[in-house]
């Protein structure tokens, strides 16, 4: 990073000297060189934008394969869910501490009312998107069939966009 600042300082000084001299051709050439060099310096930072595109399923849902603490977990995007919600089975497979959880959160699901327990996921990843310390809920055994990727994950992204046949998730660089 300091090397980049040094190069920028030298380029700016060079441009300043050329502008002070006043030759229009030199000014145009310096402007082109500075613009090209700055673009080259910033390209690695710009190309590190993390994004994932998810195709719409036959039923209109956006299903994906996530990893929770390194363990595969099928999920469905649910923008109406305040939190990431995991089935008991997925939470167990991910090695979450189910024996110490308190099921004290009221939750309305497609199947009706249930209780859920709060916890924090160390790591939740979807392709290149990786978030740490993600708040989540776990429902008791048999209460849900599908894991939900709710707003406690989606709100951490730079943006997400629904398109006719896909959903684009963009993380911060």
Lowest mean pLDDT among 19-23, 114-118, 159-163: 19-23
Q: Over 50: is that where the pLDDT of 47 sits?
A: no
pLDDT tens digits, one per residue of 100-126: 999 999 998 877 899 999 999 999 999
pLDDT tens digits, one per residue of 83-107: 999 999 999 999 999 999 999 999 9
Instruction: Provide the angle, in degrees to the nearest 10, between the axes of the packed helices 24-46 and 2-21.
Output: 160
Residue 144 burial (CB count, 10 A): 22
């Amino acid at each position: 990073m300091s090397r980049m600042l040094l190069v920028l300082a030298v380029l700016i000084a060079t441009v300043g000297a050329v502008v002070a001299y006043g030759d229009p051709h030199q000014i145009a050439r310096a402007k082109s060189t500075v613009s090209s060099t700055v673009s080259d310096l910033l390209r690695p930072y710009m190309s590190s934008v993390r994004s994932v595109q998810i195709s719409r399923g036959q039923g209109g849902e956006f299903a994906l394969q996530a990893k929770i603490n390194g363990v595969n977990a099928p999920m469905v995007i649910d923008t109406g869910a305040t939190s990431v919600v995991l089935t008991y089975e997925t939470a167990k497979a991910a090695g979450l501490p189910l024996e110490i959880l308190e099921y004290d959160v009221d939750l309305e699901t497609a199947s009706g009312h249930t209780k859920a327990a709060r916890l924090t996921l160390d790591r939740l990843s979807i392709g290149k998107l990786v978030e740490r310390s993600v708040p989540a809920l776990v429902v008791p055994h048999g209460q849900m069939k599908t894991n939900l990727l709710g707003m406690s994950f989606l709100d951490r992204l730079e943006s997400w966009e629904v398109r006719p046949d896909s959903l684009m998730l963009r993380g911060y660089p």
